[in-house]
Amino acid sequence: MSREPSEIRTSRMAALSRLPAFFALEGKRAIVAGGTQAAVWKAELLSAAGAHVDVFAPAAAAEMRALSAAPPVGAVSLHERAWTQRDFASVAIAVADCADNDEAAAFAAAARAAGVPVNVIDRPGFCDFAFGAIVNRSPLVVGISTDGAAPVLGQAIRAKIEALIPKGFARWADAARAWRPRVQALALPFRGRRHFWEKFADRAAASPDKSPTEADLEALLVPSGAPQGGSVVLVGAGPGDPELLTLRAVRALQSADVILFDNLVSAEVLDFARREAKKMLVGKTGYAPSCRQDDINALMVSLAKAGRRVVRLKGGDPMIFGRADEEIAACRKAGIAVEVVPGVTAAQGAASRLLVSLTRRVEARRVQYITGHDRGGKLPDDIDWASLADPAVTTVVYMPRKTLPDLVAKAAAAGLDPATPAVAVARATRADERVISGPIAALPSRLAAESPAGPILVMIGRVFADYAESDANAIRASGADEISRQMNSKGGLRR
């Protein structure tokens, strides 16, 4: 069964309580009504943005007088009188700290009559715009708004972002502004310009406290061997939780032109992609219509040959049962540059949620990953059964939903203890993750009875004793005859 790759339309923007916007105020006129401490802070912000600020305050605080004497950037002129309608002429923005709603209504009406956007401090009903918490790495500026619902939360988020963005980024942002005309003058194609700025961002992130120099610009302009045409990046999306994405994976998603993604990739992971990227579902579904691998390879190569930066997004890690070798080979045969961004494997993600070390000392000497089905959907006939039966190994079985009864039967015939602890994990690391545990002999029937949705991972080994200990002890205590009876009645083992 096969199906054609299908494009997934980017969802519409969710409702915004406020539209984030940044006013260009350098050299423009702003007015502030009021001489309070709150008014001082707003006048300082406007001056820092380069505005010439006229403050109207019959009784100004000492801090306002100090600001007028030494403003950050734009001049702050203090007028010790009340504002009038004439004061709104040629004004770009107006702010007031009002004593009551009547005063606020009058100020807002005067500003709007003059076509001036207005903010009345702490009175949102009279505001055309709001001030948010600010992270200042100018010309890199981050604004945070909670629409007045939780200003303290906004401040807390600002503190987190402050810690994440080195102050040195301000110098790199300044350099970007200075270098942009020179880069534009090179008349590079779109892909070439994007590649330059991607390298710029990587260099800034690697040396945020270094002042960029002409040598940096020259180094960035030297061709690095990266193609100016298309390319392919195989990216591991992890098992489902978007917070398990690597930083490199996020960068790849945010620079992609086209994303070819599997069924196992969660919608939350796709949210990290840039909105302009085309997103195409090319997933494979066990025992259901799926895109043929040859078709996926051909689509990936054709898009890259057309100059697109293609991200092939796969659940877990692309190098673990992800057919990465076939896709890499297709790219190499076509002369397409290809790279791999590893991801957190489903096994790693599941073990982390269970708080189980897959290589717990004394109990496990090694870990092995095996697939639960071959190309035809049946249990592979070349599994090393003796290795699977080794009590000192932790075995992770990928995609065994249909074949687990046969797998358990053959492993038991090779010496696997039917009481070996095991867990089946469905939709590992996601909010609706399901865990079914017990001795390996009973797991197939339990999994069939509960039939959880989503991809299944089965992990077998002594390291999971905490999850299956009570059932395992019950089977050991019941004796061999009872073991056979349970396994046959539950469909766990078939001899």
150-190: pLDDT as tens digits:
888 988 898 888 877 888 889 999 999 999 999 999 888 87
For the beta carbon of residue 106, count every other beta carbon within 10 angstroms.
Answer: 15
Q: Is the dihedral of CA 19, 22, 28, 31 positive or negative?
A: positive
Residue 146 lies in a domain: no
Helical (H) or strand (E) element with 313: strand 309-314
Structure token digits, residue 431? 């909010």
**pLDDT at residue 391 in the model:** 94
Assess whether 364 and 480 both reside in one domain.
Answer: yes
- pLDDT tens, residue by residue, 192-219: 888 888 889 878 877 788 899 999 898 8
Say how far apart CA 254 and CA 242 lie, in whole Å.
Answer: 14
Residue 398 lies in a domain: yes
Say how far apart CA 290 and CA 293 lie, in whole Å.
Answer: 9
Residue 479 lies in a domain: yes
Write the CB contacts of 285 (distance below 8 Å, at least 6 apart in sequence): 263
Residue 387 lies in a domain: yes
Assess whether 400 and 319 both reside in one domain.
Answer: no
Say how far apart CA 426 and CA 440 lie, in whole Å.
Answer: 16
Residue 434, Ramachandran bin (φ over 0: left; ψ between -120 and 50: alpha; else beta): beta
Q: Which positions of the chain have pLDDT values less than 70?
A: 1-3, 8, 10-11, 224-229, 284-290, 468-495
In order of 3, 161, 183, 282, 310, the CA distances from 298 in angstroms are 14, 42, 34, 12, 12
Residue 162 lies in a domain: no
Assess whether 325 and 353 both reside in one domain.
Answer: no
- How crowded is the C-beta side of 476, counted as CA atoms within 13 Å? 12
Indicate the Cα dihedral angle 340, 346, 348, 354, nearest 10°: 160
Assess whether 259 and 325 both reside in one domain.
Answer: yes
Catalytic pick from 97, 216, 262, 390?
A: 262
Assess whether 360 and 470 both reside in one domain.
Answer: yes
Query: Given the structure tokens 């001489």, which residue do they identify?
Result: 35
Catalytic pick from 28, 199, 278, 284?
A: 284
Say how far apart CA 419 and CA 439 lie, in whole Å.
Answer: 5
Query: Catalytic: 284?
Result: yes
**pLDDT at residue 119 in the model:** 96
Assess whether 101 and 67 both reside in one domain.
Answer: yes
- Between strands 118-120 and 93-96, the pairing is parallel
Assess whether 331 and 394 both reside in one domain.
Answer: no
Residue 11 lies in a domain: no
- SS3 call for 123: coil
Say how far apart CA 313 and CA 253 lie, in whole Å.
Answer: 9
* CB-based contacts of 487-491 (< 8 A; 24+ apart in sequence): 487/418, 487/441, 487/442, 490/442, 490/444, 490/445, 490/446, 491/405, 491/444, 491/445, 491/448
**pLDDT at residue 212 in the model:** 92
Assess whether 332 and 276 both reside in one domain.
Answer: yes
Alpha helices, DSSP H only, in 358-464?
Answer: 385-389, 404-413, 443-450
Assess whether 278 and 337 both reside in one domain.
Answer: yes
In order of 36, 40, 235, 299, the CA distances from 48 in angstroms are 18, 12, 42, 51
Assess whether 87 and 63 both reside in one domain.
Answer: yes
Say how far apart CA 409 and CA 268 lie, in whole Å.
Answer: 38
DSSP-derived letter for residue 124 is G
Say how far apart CA 379 and CA 90 lie, in whole Å.
Answer: 78
Q: What is the pTM of this model?
A: 0.62
Domain boundary among 131, 164, 189: 131
Give me the number of domains the chain comprises. 4
In order of 45, 324, 332, the CA distances from 316 in angstroms are 46, 12, 23
Assess whether 113 and 93 both reside in one domain.
Answer: yes
Residue 298: domain span? 231-344
Whether 294 and 6 have beta carbons less than 8 Å apart is answered as no
- By residue count, the chain amounts to 495
Residue 35 lies in a domain: yes
Write the CB contacts of 170 (distance below 8 Å, at least 6 apart in sequence): 136, 137, 138, 139, 140
In order of 442, 458, 482, the CA distances from 479 in angstroms are 15, 25, 6
Amino acid at 62: A
Residue 212 lies in a domain: yes
